[in-house]
């Protein structure tokens, strides 16, 4: 609140306390007085004497020099589910990579990738699972359960594994040739057990 030379009060809005910021408003307040009267304008900081405002100003100035704004935003249900799923998958992957069992299957599928499965009819899924695990009636698998004398291929004299039959055994050379021709038609040019029974040639283990 300001007073003229006769002591009469007139108000200049708090937002316009300096003429340099809004000269038109100050001039308008002054010209409303008589031309013979002289106005006395006292400019005071708006927060002076108001309890708590100095502390608020100090806190605001302290925040200005900080690069990051600290705001705590709680997670919603979907975010919690996503975080839990990611952590469980990481733990699962760690245990699968460090385990000593199931290494034949690990060579085919080193990544756990939950939900990343091949869509096949039920019987084809069973056949693929048996091939991946090596439990499909070949000599090496039968040897493990005491059903074969040495687990070796009769034609080659080496362990008759799924990898040997698909990739190397000369008894299946014609079947292998037809398989590779069919894969070439599909655009697959990298032939390996992982490519044939995994999820494609680009499946590599995370660093």
Is this model's pTM higher than 0.75 or not? Answer: no
pLDDT of 74: 86
Q: Give the torsion through C-alpha atoms of 146, 147, 148, 153, to 10 deg.
A: -120
pLDDT of 205: 41
pLDDT of 164: 94
Per-domain residue ranges of the chain: 2-47, 77-197
pLDDT of 116: 57
- Which residue(s) pair with 4 in the sheet? 39
Ordered per-residue pLDDT tens for the chain, 207 residues: 555 455 656 555 554 444 444 444 445 555 554 554 555 555 555 656 666 777 777 777 776 776 776 778 888 899 999 999 999 999 999 999 999 988 888 888 888 876 656 688 999 989 988 988 888 899 998 998 999 999 999 999 999 999 999 999 999 999 999 999 998 898 888 888 888 887 644 444 443
Beta-carbon count within 10 A of 143 CB: 16
């Amino acid at each position: 609140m300001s007073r003229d030379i006769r002591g009469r009060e007139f108000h200049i809005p708090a937002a316009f306390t300096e003429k340099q910021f809004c000269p038109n408003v100050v001039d308008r307040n002054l010209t409303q007085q008589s031309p013979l009267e002289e106005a006395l304008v006292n400019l005071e900081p708006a927060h002076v004497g108001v309890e708590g405002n100095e502390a608020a100003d100090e806190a605001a100035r302290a925040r200005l020099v900080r690069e990051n704004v600290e705001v705590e935003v709680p997670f919603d249900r979907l975010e919690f589910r996503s975080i839990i799923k990611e952590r469980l998958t990481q733990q699962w992957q760690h245990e699968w990579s460090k385990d000593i069992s199931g290494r034949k299957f690990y060579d085919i599928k080193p990544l756990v990738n939950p939900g990343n499965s091949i869509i096949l009819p039920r019987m084809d899924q069973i056949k693929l699972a048996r091939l991946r695990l090596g439990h499909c009636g070949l000599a090496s698998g039968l040897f493990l359960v005491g059903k074969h004398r040495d687990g070796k291929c009769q034609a080659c004299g080496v362990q008759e594994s799924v990898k040997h039959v698909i990739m190397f055994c000369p008894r299946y050379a014609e079947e292998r040739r037809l398989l590779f021709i069919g894969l070439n038609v599909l655009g697959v040019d990298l032939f390996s057990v992982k490519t044939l029974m995994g999820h494609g040639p680009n499946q590599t283990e995370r660093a």
